Amino acid sequence: MKNLIVFDLDGTLAESKSSLDEEMATLLGRLLSVVKVAVISGGAWPQFEKQLLARLVDDERLTKLFLLPVCGTQFYRHDRAWNRVYSEEFTPDEKERITAALDKAFDASGFRAARCWGKVIEDRGGQITLSALGQDAPLNEKQKWDPNFGKREKIMALLKPLLPGVSIKTGGSTSIDITRAGIDKAYGIEKLRDILGIGIAEMLFAGDALFPGGNDSPVKRTGITTIQVRDVDETKRVIEAVVACLDQDGAA
């Protein structure tokens, strides 16, 4: 019996930096009627508000939704309003050092684009993120920038000697995420277990990047049951199947 369904956000519930479509919003509402749901992403809280919450009906079902921005370094739950349970952030000195290193490595790589859309380096509190084309870059531009990860691998190789003792990993289609060592989506899954008191064996995780090196793959260390989805449409079919199974079992 699964009592908590956990999703990645970008590429799983919605296209990169885009809002849920109408069908997905409806399906998530149906899912919340029968089981608890969590969403974990490297994105910051404003991204969750824009992509996810703006499209969901604000009713009692939201008490069964748990949100973990920045790979679980923040945790939000709903009780008449969205409340932040905790936030684990870099110090100002750490942020300054990481930002300077990102700028240096990006310039040295030769991959800094002539045009960008929005912030290239974003402070997310417990994570500093380099978005090579900017936070607001069009999806088609992001998809063709580094499809084989080669550009980001070179940037990360330049970063590692500059930032010992931190975690450096790829994020979405153009991003590199810097967190404290040990902070990844497995960390977020363990936070869900500890705060909600739900065993990992009672959870199911669905994401589009569970392949080796993908930013969802760390969850496998926890032993959670996983489903690799190709895209948003496949996630919809997974939700339909979960709802059908739980309705049949009479579970809630």
9, 14, 54 from 21: Cα distances, Å: 13, 7, 11
Question: Within this chain, do residues 38 and 103 fall inside the same structural domain, yes or no?
Answer: no
For the domain that residue 196 is a member of, what is the CATH number? 3.40.50.1000
For the domain that residue 107 is a member of, what is the CATH number? 3.30.1240.20
Q: Which of 127, 158, 180 is the last residue of a domain?
A: 180
pLDDT digits over 186-240, tens only? 999 999 999 999 999 999 999 999 998 888 999 999 999 999 999 999 999 999 9
174, 201, 205, 207 from 9: Cα distances, Å: 15, 22, 11, 8
Question: Within this chain, do residues 27 and 98 fall inside the same structural domain, yes or no?
Answer: no
The pair phi, psi for residue 177, each rounded to 5°, is -110, 135
pLDDT digits over 94-131, tens only? 999 999 999 999 999 999 999 999 999 999 999 999 99
Q: In the predicted model, is pLDDT for residue 251 greater than 50?
A: no
Number of domains in the chain: 2
List the structure tokens of 191.
């936070």
Q: In the predicted model, is pLDDT for residue 166 greater than 70?
A: yes
Host domain of residue 31: 4-88+183-249
Whole-structure pTM value: 0.84
